[in-house]
């Protein structure tokens, strides 16, 4: 936001590019081969799972940071949902 003569002016910039173009523009490394190997290993492991409990254990092992990562992601999603519901209700009143 810019402050111009006592008033705020909001500027939005929209960039139309592919995820690969955005990654290169931001200077991020190409991890597509690592991601493909990770997904392939996960698929192979899941094919051997015969129960929901086994699948849950496997997903915890493969998740980044294990169960702590899953809990962090769950909290992130819950706080985002709470913010969205709070933001929408504050606009009504």
Q: pLDDT in tens for each of the 93 residues of the chain?
A: 555 566 777 889 898 999 889 888 889 888 888 888 888 887 877 777 777 787 777 777 766 666 677 777 778 778 877 777 775 544 444
- Report pLDDT for 2: 59
For the chain, give every domain's residue range: 19-62, 65-93
CA atoms within 13 A on the CB side of 45: 16
Note the pTM of the prediction, 2 decimals: 0.39
Return all residues near 84 (Cβ < 8 A) that are at least 6 apart: none
Q: What count of residues does the chain have?
A: 93
């Amino acid at each position: 936001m810019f402050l111009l003569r006592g008033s705020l002016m909001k500027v939005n910039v929209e960039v139309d590019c592919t995820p690969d173009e955005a990654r290169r523009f931001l200077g991020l490394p190409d991890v597509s081969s690592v991601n493909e190997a990770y997904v392939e290993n996960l698929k192979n492991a899941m094919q051997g799972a015969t129960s929901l409990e086994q699948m849950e254990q496997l997903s915890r092992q493969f998740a980044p940071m294990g169960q702590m990562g899953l809990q962090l992601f769950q909290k992130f999603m819950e706080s985002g949902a709470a913010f969205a519901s709070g933001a929408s209700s504050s606009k009504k009143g």
